[in-house]
Amino acid sequence: MRTGLEDILGEQISGELNPDMDNGEYKRALVIAAHPDDADLGVGGTISKLSLNGWEIRYLIVTDGAKGTNDIKKTYDEIVNIRQKEQISSAACTGVTDVKFLGYPDGELYSSKDLRQILVKEIREFRPFTVYTHDPEPILINNQIVNHSDHRTTGFETINAIYPSIRDPKYFPEHFHKGILPHKVRELILWGTNNVNYEVDITSTIKDKLRALIAHESQFDFTSKKLSKIAKDWSKSNKKFTEAFRRIIISE
């Protein structure tokens, strides 16, 4: 029986990657993003396809986004509140109703045992087949975009959590004693990368992705001119839209 990604992505993906429901695997994806809006920009079209295909999706937003404004008069709490509401509305545009915020201070995310432990716990609890996150490697993406240090830290610590911490019970054994069991993530998909090896056709969900971005009112001032430029940038030809990723199959 064909299930999961193969159904929606066709021959781009091999049958062996379908979640094996009989073996306790589920159509479940965890999206770990540094800031409110990153998931929608990086993977919104793909996530909309997955949710339409019955996947259970959770967004885990690591920082509070509190520095995402030019309005110096706005208080810290006001900005955090606005950005959380925007992220919840935005996620709903791509079919995601499960959004968790870890609340680390925006712009101040560093590798730490505390961050590693929380990511390990979140992944062990949700038990995703696929994890989507930032590619931690590029400081500069395509020689065009400076990759925010929060993005790099989020991707780096997510990968460190996936291998081998979440798999092996001796890492953070307190989880095991609370009934939070080890887990294996099968597929890791990274956005914001210089090493694209996997593209998803999001033509059918491009409108959902644009709606999701528009929902971040405090971040983007979308005029119709800007929207058509974005659409043009994403469109390769003949109104075909794609999201580009670095994809790793985790066999161990």
- Nearest to Zn ion of 139, 249 (CB atom): 139
> Which residues are 141's β-sheet partners?
145
Shortest separation between residue 9's beta carbon and Zn ion, angstroms: 26
For Zn ion, the closer of residues 85 and 184 by Cβ is 85
Q: Which two tokens stand for residue 29?
A: 């994806």
Q: Residue 35 or residue 211: which is nearer to Zn ion going by CB? A: 35
CB of 101 to Zn ion, least distance (A): 14
| 35 near Zn ion, rule: CB under 5 A | yes
Listed as own residue / partner, the contacts of 10-13 with beta carbons closer than 8 Å and 24 or more positions apart are 12/198, 12/199, 12/200
Cα 214 to Cα 199: distance, rounded to the nearest angstrom: 23
Q: Which stretch binds Zn ion (CB under 5 A): 37-45, 56-64, 158-166, 192-200?
A: 37-45
33's tokens = 């993003």
Q: Which of residues 180-219 bind Zn ion (CB under 5 A)?
A: none
Site string for Zn ion, 99-138 (x = CB under 5 A): ----------------------------------------
Q: What angle do CA 136, 138, 140 make, to 5 degrees?
A: 140
130-134 and 187-191: which strand pairing? parallel
Cα(135)–Cα(65) distance, rounded to whole angstroms? 19
To Zn ion, the closest distance from the beta carbon of 160 in angstroms equals 19
d(CA 5, CA 9): 6
- Number of amino acids touching Zn ion (CB under 5 A): 3
> Site for Zn ion (CB under 5 A): which residue of 5, 38, 42, 185?
38
- Residues forming contacts to Zn ion in the complex (CB under 5 A) are 34-35, 38
